Amino acid sequence: MKLAVVGSGYVGLVAGLCFAELGHDVTIVDNDPEKISLLQQGQLPIHEEFLAELLTCKRDAGKVKFTASIAEALEDCCVIFVAVGTPPKENGEADLSFIEEVVRTIAQHALGYVVIVEKSTVPVLTHAWIRKIMALNGAAHDSFDVVSNPEFLREGTAVLDFLYPDRIVIGADTERSANLVSEIYLPLTSGEYHSRKTALPAPNSAIVPSNLIVTSAKSAELIKHASNAFLATKISFINAVASICESVGADVQEVCKGMGADARIGSRFLNPGIGYGGSCFPKDLTAFRSVAHESGYEFALLDQVISINEQQRARFLRKIRQALWNLKNKRLAVLGLAFKGGTDDIRESPALEIVKSLVEEGAVVTAFDPAAMERTKAELGDSINYVDSAYAACEEADALLILTDWAEFAQLDLKRLKEMLRYPIIVDGRNLYDPAAMKDAGIQYYSVGRPAVVQSSKTLKATAAKTTT
């Protein structure tokens, strides 16, 4: 089929290139001329595994093209996915002005029947507003349909999440539009794509063929917000449990193992740390809370989820002070700036917020991130130092802070780290290491929800002698 995708951010670009991977002819639209020019040259504006390979392959094969014109995209397609931003307003509501602008343009340029597919995360009843905007701009009621097709992509694994999804949700109020959008995903729901020799490798937990769930548009819109709110709740819950573990001397990893073994709970997202971030959870929680309020329900649970997440950053800063006492003029090595490993996205990154707090307290920060350095430079400028490796960040630092869960940060040479650090102190906000290994390496180790590893006075004296020498 011939499809259009409006928006070339994390969702739109991944969706567009993955649709091309399934065999469709895709036109990706964006109103940023620089971004379009970059994509036309085969360059990516974001970091995401497998995306560069897809862009090169599909662009060279003519399966994907890029334009700044929605009218051009509509010339030869009848399904258009809208994946533009829905940033939060000051009151927490989602700003839908970008969607409205796109819908007005569609109404003005659609040449025949068209299906408008909500790919952006939007509040419930947005589909009804889209219908109103189309009608107000002259579109006949039977010349279009609106479908909700929420995305469930995780940054860092978004391509495989798209091609091997837990579920595909299609919220449609007409059989015609439901069938049309279902046909787009047929290579996944039939298993045909997964049987191809050229298919990207399936993750261990892949469900093949993919599960298709057809609902009303209202239900589909709610599924997305409710899913993200529940996952954020799970993260905040285990972080609250981690705080209790620290108070009583228990090990949160052991608690997680015992909880996760319960099939009703599961182990996914039971990962204590410095809190959730990114472009989805913070924005979607406040938007969902606003939707609930407008519907006459005060969703107090979401207030607590948000509060716990904010408190987690403050607790981690106290942990750093516990390890170092004063932070002024302390040289700190920071590993990780993105909100999670596998991406260059720093939006609402708890790592970045902690770094800002450290700088405000007078610490000298030297940071490394495999992908998010350039975006951080645009945000923080020269308020911190940037280096090109994890070890370079640790040179003569008073302590090492691990703030993002990049896989490579879990495989560092502890002996080498101890030799490079001025003091053998590591504060791990992602629990990447076994405390027993840190004890054997002679490192003072502070993590989340686990007892601190405090070295013997003999070990500390040996370190002090090395430092003065």
Q: Average pLDDT in the 314-334 region?
A: 95
Active-site residue, selected from the candidate residues 18, 77, 256, 280: 280
Residues 348 and 360 sit within 8 Å (Cβ to Cβ): no
* pLDDT one-digit tens code per residue, 160-175: 999 999 999 999 999 9
Q: Average pLDDT in the 96-118 region?
A: 95
Asked if pLDDT for residue 455 goes beyond 80, the answer is no
Instruction: Return the percentage of the chain with pLDDT > 90, whole number.
Output: 90
How many other C-beta atoms are found inside a 10 Å radius of the C-beta of residue 376?
21
Asked if pLDDT for residue 334 goes beyond 70, the answer is yes
Q: Write down the pLDDT at residue 238.
A: 97
Q: Write down the pLDDT at residue 461.
A: 52
Backbone angles phi, psi at 14, to 5 degrees: -65, -45
The token duo for 31 is 């109103």
Indicate the pLDDT class of residue 459, thresholds 50, 70 and 90.
Answer: low
Q: Is 280 a catalytic residue?
A: yes
Instruction: Return the percentage of the chain with pLDDT > 70, whole number.
Output: 97
> Cα–Cα distances in Å, from 226 out to 32, 223, 231, 289?
31, 5, 9, 10
Question: Which residues, 6+ apart, have CB-to-CB distance to 311 below 8 Å?
Answer: none
Any idea which architecture 224-309 has in CATH?
A: Orthogonal Bundle (1.10)
Q: Write down the pLDDT at residue 258.
A: 97
The token duo for 301 is 């649970």
Lowest mean pLDDT: which of 172-181, 321-330, 423-432, 452-461?
Answer: 452-461
User: What interhelical angle do 300-324 and 350-360 show, nearest 10?
Assistant: 50
Q: Write down the pLDDT at residue 458.
A: 59
The token duo for 319 is 């942990």
Q: How is the beta sheet containing 385-386 ordered, strand by strand?
A: 385-386, 364-368, 331-335, 399-402, 425-428, 444-446
* pLDDT one-digit tens code per residue, 23-50: 999 999 999 999 999 999 999 999 999 9
Residues 96 and 86 sit within 8 Å (Cβ to Cβ): yes
As annotated, the residues of the chain forming the CATH 3.40.50.720 domain(s) are 2-215
Its pTM stands at 0.89
How many other C-beta atoms are found inside a 10 Å radius of the C-beta of residue 211?
13
Asked if pLDDT for residue 463 goes beyond 90, the answer is no
Asked if pLDDT for residue 280 goes beyond 90, the answer is no
Asked if pLDDT for residue 185 goes beyond 60, the answer is yes
Whether CATH 3.30.930.10 fits 2-215: no
* Token pair 């049309």 in the structure block, residue: 180
Q: Average pLDDT in the 314-338 region?
A: 95
Q: Average pLDDT in the 352-366 region?
A: 97
Q: Write down the pLDDT at residue 89.
A: 87
Q: Average pLDDT in the 393-413 region?
A: 97
* pLDDT one-digit tens code per residue, 286-297: 999 999 998 999
CA 367 to chain centre: 21
* Token pair 């391509």 in the structure block, residue: 159
Backbone angles phi, psi at 116, to 5 degrees: -95, 120
* pLDDT one-digit tens code per residue, 51-80: 999 999 999 999 999 999 999 999 989 999
As annotated, the residues of the chain forming the CATH 1.10.1040.10 domain(s) are 224-309
* pLDDT one-digit tens code per residue, 232-273: 999 999 999 999 999 999 999 999 999 999 999 999 889 999
Asked if pLDDT for residue 467 goes beyond 70, the answer is no
* pLDDT one-digit tens code per residue, 120-160: 989 889 999 999 999 999 999 999 999 999 999 999 999 99
Asked if pLDDT for residue 462 goes beyond 70, the answer is no
